[in-house]
Amino acid sequence: MDTVPQVLLAIAAVTAVSVLIYRTIRAYKRYRGKLLVTCPENRQVVAVEVDAAGAAITAATGGPKLVLTDCTRWPERQGCGQACLSQIELSPENCQVRTVLDRWFEGRKCAYCGRVLGEVRWQDHKPALLTPQRELVEWSSLAVEELPRLLETHSAACHDCLTLGSADEERTS
């Protein structure tokens, strides 16, 4: 029996399954969690969630089909046409909270030292968000749906000022 075609067939099958799994995982990561979009109805930024599992499964088999599962304006506006989904379809990355924060911090000046923050290094050089009274906003306590509103009034502080204590000095002086 000729085993070469069988081996090739097996390789093709494994490759096809791998591609499907890759697409599913990639789509799931893209669409999970809270996403920020501009509500087409009132032109305000809102936090929404889509059915990430459903998007992942449909992404693997043709293209992601997005369904909204939550929105800051729900349940009052639950019957909306979900027109904001086009923004997520166009660029899910642009709607991710991390991207919105990256864009906001980049080019912003530190409220303490005046240095431009530049590209954010979340792992080892996390910047901070300060209230108008210069109180530190804990990232863990941040409500995503509040974020667009906070970014209009809050300022930024660089990692160095927070760790080197100049922020504390200013606060206590």
The binding site for Zn ion (CB under 5 A) comprises 110, 112-113, 158, 161
Q: How far apart are CA 118 and CA 102, in angstroms?
A: 9
Judge contact between 124 and 158, C-beta under 8 A.
no
Nearer to Zn ion, 70 or 160 (CB): 160
Name the minimum Å distance from CB 111 to Zn ion.
7
Name the minimum Å distance from CB 164 to Zn ion.
8
Tell me if residue 66 falls in helix, strand or coil.
Answer: coil
Nearer to Zn ion, 35 or 161 (CB): 161
For residue 84, give Cα distances in angstroms to 7, 140, 168. Answer: 47, 27, 42
Tell me if residue 9 falls in helix, strand or coil.
Answer: helix
Name the minimum Å distance from CB 100 to Zn ion.
22
Nearer to Zn ion, 68 or 128 (CB): 128
Name the minimum Å distance from CB 130 to Zn ion.
11
> Residue 43 — φ and ψ, nearest 5°?
60, 25
Nearer to Zn ion, 36 or 110 (CB): 110
Nearer to Zn ion, 13 or 164 (CB): 164
Name the minimum Å distance from CB 102 to Zn ion.
18
Tell me if residue 83 falls in helix, strand or coil.
Answer: coil
CA torsion angle 164 170 172 173 (round to 10): 130
> Residue 42 — φ and ψ, nearest 5°?
-115, 5
Q: Which helix (H) or strand (E) holds 11?
A: helix 4-31
